[in-house]
């Protein structure tokens, strides 16, 4: 009699129950590996972002430092030019200051000595004015402005001590007051029709000079040591009071 093989259901059930038990750990392992890979990827991205940010920050900081160094160098060069220009301008004023004071005294003495004749000339322009006439050559001080113009063009004034920048600007303001007086007397020189008008005009000019020039010399003597200290040296060591 042929043997009949009857499948054992218990074995099948055991095999079926064993299969899920073996596949679950593999799936869990794969999922865990994926999470770890994503974790490492995210951490790498964060690190790269941080490094890039640090690089950008250092780059900007370096650029700002370079700009700041350039601004300081620009301001320092302007201070040196101001000092050189003020020394030259002070010398120009010192050379004419006493001359203008002397000419003012001569003109005032002339008007005081010839008051009657000059009044008669005002009444009748045909009457000659008294002779001799004092020296009326204006002999103005010619100022340099190149350092100031360059400082405005380069905006270097914004990069230096503002009190010092204000003092520098004040020097040029007083220089311009003298320049305006020189310009006015020059226009009178080429346009007057009566000599007495010229004499009065030049007397006024000498009076303006004797007021403004000593004041300007005092301002020079104040600003030049300040520029020496700001620059950090005394250049050629010249005594600015000479």
Which helix (H) or strand (E) element contains residue 231?
Answer: helix 195-231
Do 160 and 230 meet the contact criterion of CB atoms below 8 Å apart? Answer: yes
Could you tell me if residue 18 is inside a domain?
A: no
pTM > 0.85: no
Is 90 exceeded by the pLDDT of residue 131? yes
Lowest-pLDDT range of 14-18, 108-112, 236-240: 236-240
Confidence of residue 1 (pLDDT cuts 50, 70, 90): very low
pLDDT of residue 239: 41
Could you tell me if residue 200 is inside a domain?
A: yes
Could you tell me if residue 42 is inside a domain?
A: no
Number of domains in the chain: 1
Lowest-pLDDT range of 1-5, 78-82, 164-168, 238-242: 238-242
> What is the rounded average pLDDT for all residues in the chain?
84
Report the number of secondary-structure helices (H) and strands (E) in the chain: 5, 0
Question: Alpha-carbon distance 241 to 204, whole Å?
Answer: 28
- Encode pLDDT of 138-175 as tens digits: 999 999 999 999 999 999 999 999 999 999 999 999 99
Could you tell me if residue 5 is inside a domain?
A: no
Helix axes 162-191, 9-113, angle to 10 degrees: 40
- Encode pLDDT of 67-88 as tens digits: 566 678 999 999 999 999 999 9
Could you tell me if residue 240 is inside a domain?
A: no
Could you tell me if residue 2 is inside a domain?
A: no
Range(s) of the domain holding residue 131: 73-231
pLDDT of residue 238: 45
Candidates 50, 71, 68, 70; CA nearest to 60 is: 68
End-to-end CA distance of the chain: 146
Q: What is the mean pLDDT of residues 50-61?
A: 68
Could you tell me if residue 84 is inside a domain?
A: yes
**Residue 12: both structure tokens together:** 């099948």
Candidates 3, 31, 157, 175; CA nearest to 89 is: 175
Could you tell me if residue 114 is inside a domain?
A: yes
pLDDT of residue 38: 66
């Amino acid at each position: 009699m042929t043997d009949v093989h009857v499948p054992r259901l218990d074995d099948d059930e055991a095999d079926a129950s064993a299969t899920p038990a073996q596949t679950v750990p593999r799936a869990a392992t794969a999922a865990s590996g994926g999470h770890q890979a994503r974790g490492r990827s995210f951490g790498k991205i964060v690190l790269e972002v941080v490094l890039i940010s640090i690089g950008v920050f250092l780059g900007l900081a370096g650029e700002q430092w370079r700009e700041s160094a350039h601004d300081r160098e620009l301001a320092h060069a302007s201070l040196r030019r101001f000092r050189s220009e003020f020394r030259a301008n002070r010398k120009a004023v010192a050379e004419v200051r006493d001359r203008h004071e002397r000419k003012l005294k001569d003109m005032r003495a002339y008007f005081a000595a010839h008051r009657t004749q000059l009044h008669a000339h005002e009444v009748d322009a045909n009457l000659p004015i008294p002779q001799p006439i004092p020296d009326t050559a204006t002999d103005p001080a010619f100022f340099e402005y190149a350092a100031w113009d360059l400082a405005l063009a380069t905006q270097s004034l914004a990069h230096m001590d503002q009190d010092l920048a204000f003092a520098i600007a004040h020097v040029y303001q007083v220089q311009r007051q003298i320049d305006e007086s020189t310009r006015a007397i020059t226009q009178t020189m080429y346009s007057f029709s009566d000599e007495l008008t010229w004499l009065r005009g030049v007397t006024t000019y000498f009076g303006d000079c004797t007021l403004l020039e000593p004041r300007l010399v005092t301002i020079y003597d104040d600003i030049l040591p300040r520029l020496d200290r700001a620059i950090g040296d005394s250049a050629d060591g010249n005594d600015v009071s000479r």
